[in-house]
Chains A and B, each alone.
Chain A
Amino acid sequence: MTDLTQYLDYALIGMLLAVAFAIVRLRNLFAVVMLMGVYSLLCAAWFVSLDAVDVAFTEAAVGAGISTVLLLAAMLLTAREAEPSKPQRHWAALAVVVAAGAALLYAVPDMPVYGDAESVANAYVGRDYLEQTPHDIAVPNIVTAVLSSYRGFDTLGETVVIFTAGLGVILLLGFGGRKREPKGKPAAKAAPAARAPKAGKPAKPVKEEGAS
């Protein structure tokens, strides 16, 4: 059964790769924004298949939901198409990328096999958690159990911090448009008043009225 899901993982990774190349190559910024959302959806699906449900939740909510909307809002401020970049050869960048890739490939054989019960991560404290969680907490997913129960206060603190930060940002930026209306009306009234002296040219009569 693990063999079968493995092939699905390969399919997801292949699609991730294709999307990443398309994001780099495409000029239409709107298509790029949507491809970013698709990338994060694929990422989250892959996390689900790796049984990291919480990471998948976060990735789906933040990557596919919030960032798509934020990037669309950012697109209001810029052009629709990316300017074509001049074809240049960045040899230094290529060298850095090749070196990093070679180092990663060199490190791969030292990594434990996927799902290895004897690997260091699963052997000592990890095995304790794997054995104790079903007795301590009736949550089937152990990552969720660790996140929301063993280190529950930590998670609560994180959530409070993120909520406060979001609240601060919303208060600073003023989403919702309700504040626009009172601002808009005085501006509409002030605009003709400001234009009138210009059209009538002299500002002196106003001063005289104020003096008298």
Chain B
Amino acid sequence: MDMFNFIMALGMACAMAIMLARLFAGPTLYDRVLAANSFGTKTILFLLVFSALSGRQDAIDIAMLYALINFVATIAILKFFRYRSLEISLAQMSLRRAVDGEDEA
């Protein structure tokens, strides 16, 4: 069972390495955003497999924290690219989108 978990963890590490390659090479910005988000997900899975491998339950908490941080960071990055500012609140975002939609129509 340990061997199985170890092979799973190694596979996760390989997937992380592939995501890193895309992150280094990524020609466009969105490749990199997607690769970073996916890398975070792979890290979460790696930690879960690791906690199964080593028998430590603490790693599951860390994995949950990662999931939250990954989400917040992705939102921040995408917001940064859509609005060029981090100060706009969510309410203003939807308002501006409505105004933009009217302008386009």
Contacts and interface: CB of A to CB of B under 8 A. Distances in A.
A68 B50 CA distance: 26
Interface residues of A, number: 45
Q: Is the interface of A mostly helix, strand, loop or mixed?
A: helix
A72 B77 contact: yes
Contact of A72 (B20, B65, B76): B76
Given A1-B2, A30-B32, A48-B59, A177 B88 contact: yes
B20 A8 contact: no
B92 A177 contact: yes
A4 to B, nearest CB: 4
B10 A34 contact: no
16 contacts: A4-B3, A5-B53, A15-B16, A19-B20, A22-B23, A22-B24, A31-B23, A35-B23, A41-B66, A45-B47, A48-B62, A64-B66, A65-B72, A68-B73, A68-B77, A180-B87
Interface of A: 1, 4-5, 7-8, 11-12, 15, 18-19, 22, 26, 30-31, 34-35, 37-38, 41-42, 44-45, 48-49, 51, 53, 56-57, 60-61, 64-65, 68-69, 72-73, 75-76, 140-141, 175-178, 180
